[in-house]
Amino acid sequence: MVLRAVLWLLFGLFGCAVLPAVFRAGGASAQVYENVHRPKPDLRQLDTPRFRVIFPAGEESAAFRTARILEDQYPIIKSLVGGELRRFPVVLNAHNDLSNGYVTPLHFRTEIEIPAIKGPALNPRTGGWIENVAPHELVHALHFSNIPDNSIPRLVYTFWPDMGRAMHGAAPFGMIEGIAVFHESNVVYGSGGRGNYSLFRDQTRAMLAGDAPWSLAQHLNPAFYSFPGNRHYTAGFEFINWLQYTYGMETTRQSIEYFVRYPFFGYGAALRHATGSRTGALYRAYLSEIRAALDPVPESVTATAAITLPKTAEDAHIGRAVWLDNARILFAQGTQYNSRPGFYVAEASGGTPRLLLETRQVGDFRFSLTPDRRHLLYSRYHSHPWFENTHIMDVYHFETDTRRLQRLTEGARLHAPAFAPGSSGGFSGDVFPGFTALQTDSETSRLVRVSEGGAVTELVRLKPDTWVQAEPSPAEAGRWAVIANRNGIQALWLVEGDDFGSVTGRNPDVGFRNGVVLDAAWAADGESVLLSGWMRGTESAQVYRFFPAENELVQLTNEPFGATSPDLRPDGGALLYIAQEGQSRVIRVLAAEHFGTRSFQPFDFQPELQDRFAATRLSDYREADLENWTLGAYRTGFDWLRPRGVVPVLELSERSRESRFGVMMSGGDVLRQHSWQAELTISDRRLWAEMFYRNTTFYPGWQMEAYYRPRFTNAGLFTERGGEVSLPFFGRIEDRSRNSFWQFRPGIAAREFRYTDDLFIRPGQPGFDGWFTDVSLKGFAALYWRWQQNIRDIMPNTGTVLFVQGEQFVYSDRDEGVQGMRFGVNQYLSPWLSRNHGLMLGAEGLTQTRTLLYGTSGLVYDGFETNILAGARNAAVLRARYALPLRYVDDGFISVPFFLDRVYLALQANYVLDLNAIDGAPLTTAGRAVYGIELRTSFRLYNLPLDIGLGLGWEPTRGKVQVFGNTR
């Protein structure tokens, strides 16, 4: 769940505490409220005492469940983090399978995708997706709304409530997410939430039990360039959980309020205020208690005996692995530090894995192979060409021998495909025999069958419960191992034929009253099922083997920090599984002679669970409240015209008559389809105004700006008025693993100016009376082709960028025709991908008339002494940049809000040529070249990402050396 804060304005807000004004060096302000273009279904609105839930028609069940949970959890969370909400917007959308939930302080609201997150990220015992996500996001919403009196945010809140709330984003994200997970883990007491989920907690436990535990700063700061990406969730929860139970349930709220009052003192001072201890002492006490609970690490005979396959990265995170044959392994992974996402083949005996198919996949990493291992089914997301945040799942067929890739469905919203051998005689040329899969069904998944041609037929839906997996037997057609989550009990059923509906009427074949079954895989002979999960509490997941004929369950592994995704070698001689090892999730192979032999009685894995299936779900007892809530159509109306922020503007100048002061206002609607910004200022005893508006209710939308503003020059004061209208086209180009998109923004601008000041101009002087009028056509176009960037890459490791920008005056009071154009190409390469080295080669050209339209500072490298192209009309530039990381530090401090991410080196070359100054000289000597080297660091201050560097530029033809510093 992503927490989006507007950190780029943070220090400006801190400045407001001293002088409540926005300081500017001049020029237009940035757009504050963003716009998106999204599908426009028939929207409804549910009004409750504290919330207004906006949702698409047909999703009433999800909306009512969300509203009940939010109203039910509100007083509990308020006591935990403080704050208060009134008519808080909760936007539900059903068009995105790549699900998430977030709270944003800018147009203060929460947005939740109704389709559930795919994969094992959340605790199944909480119940459904909405039971997991709604309480978590409500913690963030109330946290943001806690604005203590006599504080910096309270002062900012007076002028701009959204910005006042955004200042909470200066706190360490691990504290923000940690308290949200803490509450989430107490919603279903003792079993729900990620705090009661071993797959979540084992990541931190594995690190704390090792020789290099995460520091407190690493607990509480996101890992921008390291795995796991959810470190500030897992480790943040562990620390906050310890804090709450050690110092009391008021601890986090007190530290939040203190930090917001005194942000310059850092979060360490806030912790000391709430606990009476310094951060160093707190961390030592916390680490001592946690490690004591883990010491000794549970005995792990099988983990010691298992062979760990070579990792594809320093901290690899493997999705799932299966046997191709008795010697080779196929595994799936997402983006790593230094390798492509996709399917890899590895030798069980070791060696470097080989990329079989570069592709992205759905987060559950559930794919299916035929018994002969020649055919592979998997699902991946497809991004909509122009709708924002709209990703739909579809299924692909890959032939492992011919490398042929075929898309089988289009817009079907399918994941976890499974081919049933024998059902239609197998593959024959281009004829596809059909398969089963799971399909998005509101906040759940239904079980469907896909026939030849992509027709989808529903088999069974369990709503409000959900299907998790359906795995066919490789030896017996029509026999299935299925996993379903029924009211928080996630268990395994064996099904004969198409009798999938039987799971609703009987106990599971393997199910735990206080545990979870995560995933399942058949043995090659079809006589046993391998599964992973745990029986009690938050004990680590292990691999079990279930023998249906004997009704026997045997534990095969004893991994200290979990084992999942099991697969038995075709000859039964070894087990394959994924294990948590430090920060990594690695592939392990365990020989049969080392299998565990612990067996269980049926009452351990087949308890009577009908009472749990029939129990009421979270907040269902509030059904009667629905009578007092109002349901109707959602209307945007004109509320978006109301300013959401009114802040002072102060633009200072050495000459007092050029200084400006006034107010800036901005606003927008809750669905981010209207946004506007206006500015009224006074300067030189005159009133000036600027306005911006953007509308994205249709594709591509449109935007407009208008202005009446001063422009001071050495010749005196100009008055400038005019406006511009443009159409911001944007489109994505589908690619299975890399990013391609384009932009095109045509527009028309009209502007007038006149000389207003008579300091240097005599009244009536020819050429200086009245307004000068210009009308021009403008355009910008860019193609970003097949970009790919791993999390430790400094630049994209592959990809091409083509761009062109131009303007042509179609009318002007001046004699000359004014026009200009910029164009260029950048190519990204990686000479040493495994070390995250990056190379950018670029060329750019500029041509314009005497009336200059474009500046040139962006063409000239800082290694030159000055902007040697200043005033150039026609210029050409060649550039190269080679970047290589020196160290990923990934550590910092809490008392001082500083976190150092990485240190890297950048080598630069820049050749610039003023084409109007060649004078017959050859190009090799007419231009000027500079070579540079920069030592750069990426770090965060109050969560604000910064990249600064110290560089040295050498211009060999002139023997000049320039030392410079800059911020990227």
Give which of 195, 178, 119 is closest to 578, Cα–Cα: 119
Q: What is the mean pLDDT of residues 267-284?
A: 94
Of 253-257, 404-408, 693-697, 758-762, the one with minimum mean pLDDT is 758-762
Q: How far apart are CA 838 and CA 835, in angstroms?
A: 9
Give residues with Cβ within 8 angstroms of 429, minimum separation 6. Answer: none
Residue 30: pLDDT above 70? no
Tell which residue, 844, 934, 959, 925, has the closest CA to residue 881: 934
The better pLDDT of the pair 28, 463 is held by 463
Q: What is the pLDDT of residue 876?
A: 94
Per DSSP, the three-state class of 839 is strand
3-state secondary structure of 635: coil
Nearest one of 236, 203, 176 to 121, comparing CA atoms: 203
Q: Which alpha helices (DSSP H) does 636-785 contain, by range?
A: none
Residue 1 or 233, more confident: 233
Residue type, 361: Q
**CA gap 219, 837 in Å, rounded:** 28
Burial class (CB in 10 A: 0-12, 13-18, 19+), 596: middle
pLDDT one-digit tens code per residue, 908-954:
999 999 988 777 666 666 789 999 999 999 999 999 999 999 999 99
For residue 1, name the pLDDT band (cuts at 50, 70, 90).
very low
Q: What is the pLDDT of residues 53-105, one digit of tens each?
A: 999 999 999 999 999 999 999 999 999 999 999 999 999 999 999 999 999 99
Average pLDDT over residues 711-734: 88
pLDDT of residue 921: 65
Paired residues of 323 in beta bridges = 329
Residue 424's pLDDT is what? 42
**H/E element, 541:** none
Q: How far is residue 246's CA from residue 256's CA, in Å, rounded to a whole number?
A: 17
Segment 582-586 mean pLDDT: 90
Task: Report how far residue 440's alpha carbon sits from residue 116's, in angstroms, rounded to the nearest whole number.
Answer: 8
Q: What number is the average pLDDT over the span 431-437?
A: 77
**Residue 232: its pLDDT value, please?**
96
Q: What angle do CA 640, 645, 647 make, to 5 degrees?
A: 150
401 sits in the region (left: phi over 0; alpha: psi -120 to 50; else beta) called alpha
Residue 3 has pLDDT above 80, yes or no: no
Q: In what order do the strands lie in the sheet with 489-496?
A: 466-472, 479-486, 489-496
Alpha-carbon span 824 to 806, nearest angstrom: 12
Alpha helices (H) along 216-351: 216-220, 231-247, 251-261, 266-275, 279-294, 301-305
Tokens 């691990």 — which residue? Answer: 174
Residue 682 CA to residue 691 CA, distance in Å, equals 15
Q: Which two tokens stand for residue 822?
A: 């910029």
Based on C-alpha coordinates, what's the Rg of the chain? 31
pLDDT digits (tens, 9 = 90+) for 793-850: 999 999 999 999 999 999 888 666 789 999 999 999 999 998 999 999 999 999 998 8
The predicted structure's pLDDT at residue 758: 53
Q: Are 905 and 839 in contact (CB under 8 A)?
A: no
492 to 13, 49, 526, 559, 731: CA distances (angstroms): 54, 41, 15, 22, 43
**What does the pLDDT read at residue 738?**
92
Q: What is the DSSP string of 421-440?
A: TTSS-S-BTTB---EEEEEE
| Res. 717: pLDDT tops 70 | yes
Whether residue 428 has pLDDT greater than 80: no
C-alpha distances out from residue 573 to 524, 567, 948, Å:
11, 11, 55
DSSP string, 743-760: EEEEEEEEEEEEE---SS
Query: Distance between CA atoms of 553 and 512, rounded to whole angstroms?
Result: 12
At 779, is the secondary structure helix, strand, or coil? strand
Mean pLDDT of 747-759: 81
Q: pTM for this structure?
A: 0.92
Q: How many residues are there in the chain?
A: 968
Angle, nearest 10°, between helix axes 198-208 and 231-247? Answer: 80
**Phi and psi dihedrals of 66, rounded to 5?**
-60, -45
Question: What pLDDT sits at residue 297?
Answer: 67
Give 431's pLDDT tier (boundaries 50, 70, 90). low
**Which residue, among 911, 111, 6, 199, has the nearest Cα to 585 in the 3D structure?**
199
Would you say 565 and 199 are in contact if contact means Cβ atoms under 8 Å apart? no
* CA 122/CA 469 separation, integer angstroms: 16
Structural tokens at position 257: 């309020």
Please tell me the distance from the alpha carbon of residue 133 to that of residue 91, in angstroms, as a whole number: 13
pLDDT at residue 421 in the model: 61
* Residue 445 and residue 466 in contact, taking contact as beta carbons nearer than 8 Å: yes
What's the rounded mean pLDDT across residues 171-198? 93
Instruction: Provide the mean pLDDT of the chain.
Output: 89
Which pLDDT belongs to residue 310? 76
Sheet holding 375-383, edge to edge: 368-369, 375-383, 391-399, 405-407
pLDDT at 94: 95
pLDDT digits (tens, 9 = 90+) for 329-379: 999 998 889 889 999 999 998 888 999 999 999 999 999 998 888 999 999
Q: What is the pLDDT of residue 547?
A: 97
